[in-house]
Amino acid sequence: MTLLRTMPVQDPSSTLLSTEDPAEITKHLAEAGIHYERWNTDRGLADDAGQEEILQAYRSEIDAVSASNDYEFIDVVQMRPAPEDPEWPEKAHAARSRFLEEHRHAEDEVRFFPAGRGCFYLHIGDRIHAVVCEAGDLLSVPAGTVHWFDMGTVPEFTAVRFFQKEDGWVGDFVENSIASRFPTLDQIMAER
Ligand SMILES: [Fe+2]
pLDDT of residue 166: 85
Q: How far, in Å, from the CA of 163 to the mean position of ligand 1?
A: 12
Q: CA-CA distance, 109 to 89, in Å (whole number)?
A: 26
Distance 22 CA to ligand 1 centre (A): 22
Give the pLDDT score at 116. Answer: 96
22 Cβ neighbours under 8 A, 6+ residues apart: 2, 38
Q: How far is the CA of 41 from the centre of ligand 1 (A)?
A: 24
Q: How far is the CA of 15 from the centre of ligand 1 (A)?
A: 23
Q: What are phi and psi of 5, to 5 degrees?
A: -125, 125
Number of domains in the chain: 1
Q: What is the pLDDT of residue 169?
A: 86
Spell out which residues have Cβ within 5 A of ligand 1, the ion: 109
- Alpha helix ranges (H) inside the chain: 22-31, 51-57, 59-69, 88-98, 185-191
Domain around 42? 3-191
Q: How far apart are CA 19 and CA 25, in angstroms?
A: 7
Whole-angstrom Cα distance, residue 76 to residue 160? 4
CA dihedral 156, 111, 142, 131 (to 10 degrees): -40
Closest CA to 163 of 131, 141, 132: 141
Q: String of b and e for 37-73 (b: at least 16 CB within 10 Å)?
A: ebbebeeebeeebeeeebbebbeeebeebbeeeebee
The answer to whether 51 touches 76, Cβ cutoff 8 Å, is yes
Cα dihedral angle (174, 121, 167, 46), rounded to 10 degrees?
160
Query: 147 C-alpha vs ligand 1 centroid, how far in Å?
Result: 6
pLDDT at 179: 98
Ligand 1 mean position to 75 CA, how many Å? Answer: 15
pLDDT at 14: 96
Distance 146 CA to ligand 1 centre (A): 8
37: CATH: 2.60.120.10
Q: Encode pLDDT of 37-54 as tens digits.
A: 999 999 999 988 999 999
**What does the pLDDT read at residue 24?**
96
CA 107 – ligand 1 centroid, Å: 10
User: 37: helix, coil or strand?
Assistant: strand
71-100 pLDDT tens trace? 999 999 999 999 899 999 999 999 999 999
Residue ranges for the chain with pLDDT beneath 70: none
pLDDT at 52: 96
Give the whole-angstrom CA distance, residue 40 versus residue 18.
Answer: 23
DSSP per position, 119-140: EEEEEETTEEEEEEEETTEEEE
